[in-house]
Amino acid sequence: MTSGRFSVTLMMGAPGAGKGTQAVFACEALGVPHVATGDLLRDHQRHGTVLGTTARVYMDRGDLVPDDLVMGMLIERLQQSDAANGALLDGFPRTLSQARALDDGLGAHGGGVRAVVYLDVPTDVLVRRLSGRRACANCEGTFNVDLQHLPADGSCPACGDQLVHRRDDEPSVVAHRVQVYLQETAPVLEYYREKRLVREVDGSRPVDEIKSGVLQALKQAAPP
Ligand code: AMP
């Protein structure tokens, strides 16, 4: 069992599976930062970095951003002070080559993957949830017009800024993202299953029940 800065727990699940919400609970329990590659990429876009500009082309199409870009960005993030005890990774790795690159990258620093929490949700539920999603560009909060009562003026209930329908949350792009996810990540899940690191949680239940399942799964994983 690995511990320290380069020891990470993974939160896996298709877009719309509720990874963001559950990751907050998991991070509290583990005392580590939530590192979502999608958020990091959007940060780069907002700051107008070269990486952000390059990544935008792929993201707007709902395609994966090339591995070397995402992996470099992630290692940089794990070197920041708040990741001294590792991190909870959300949205990474999505492909087998990213999983291998992650093992190599973490292993080179004496770390590794501690456990994988997988949120399992049927495809039709995913597409429905994602099409109704609205995001706040200011506080990174995500909300759902079908599941929540949101302010009529389209403002963010958390910070008051304007909510947006992300281009990659439009129905045609959503169906493609789910398809890409399932195709690309099935082998990743299998890779970690073979290492006996996967803890499956039924992600179609109410948020509180999923939370209990996630916390239980983290307890089952050996402590760092
Ligand atoms: P997300 O916010 O996790 O749904 O990610 C939004 C978009 O960011 C995805 O559709 C991809 O274009 C890109 N992205 C996020 N994480 C990764 C990753 N691990 N590898 C490649 N592309 C990614």
In the chain, where are the structural domains located?
7-121+182-221
Q: Nearest 5°: CA angle at 148, between 142 and 149?
A: 115
Residue 5 bears catalytic tag: no
Please say if 56 is a catalytic residue. Answer: no
Catalytic-labelled residue, pool 5, 114, 129, 133: 133
Could you say which of 5, 42, 114, 177 is catalytic?
177
Task: Give the span between the Cα atoms of 202 and 214, in whole angstroms.
Answer: 9
C-alpha 91 – ligand 1 centre gap (Å): 7
Spell out the per-residue pLDDT of the chain, length 224, in tens.
556 888 999 999 988 898 888 999 999 999 999 999 999 999 999 999 999 999 999 999 989 899 889 988 988 899 999 999 999 999 899 889 999 999 998 888 889 999 999 999 998 889 888 889 999 989 989 898 877 889 999 999 999 999 999 888 888 888 888 888 888 888 999 999 999 999 999 999 988 999 999 999 998 775 54
pLDDT given for residue 135 in this prediction? 93
CA distances 107 to 80, 104, 188, Å, are 18, 5, 18
Give the pocket of ligand 1 (CB within 6 Å).
Answer: 15, 37-38, 41, 58-59, 62-65, 70, 91-92, 94, 98, 168, 177
Return the residue matching tokens 């298709």.
Answer: 14
Class of the CATH domain delimited by 7-121+182-221: alpha beta
Global pTM value: 0.79
Gap from CA of 214 to ligand 1 centroid (Å):
22
CB within 8 A of 68, min separation 6: which ones?
A: none
In ligand 1, which atom is closest to the CA atom of 59? 12
pLDDT at 2: 56
What's the 83 CA to ligand 1 centre distance in angstroms?
A: 21
Written as one letter, the residue type at 181 is Y
CB 95 within 8 A of CB 192: no
**Cα→Cα distances 190→27, 163, 196, 221, Å:** 24, 37, 10, 18
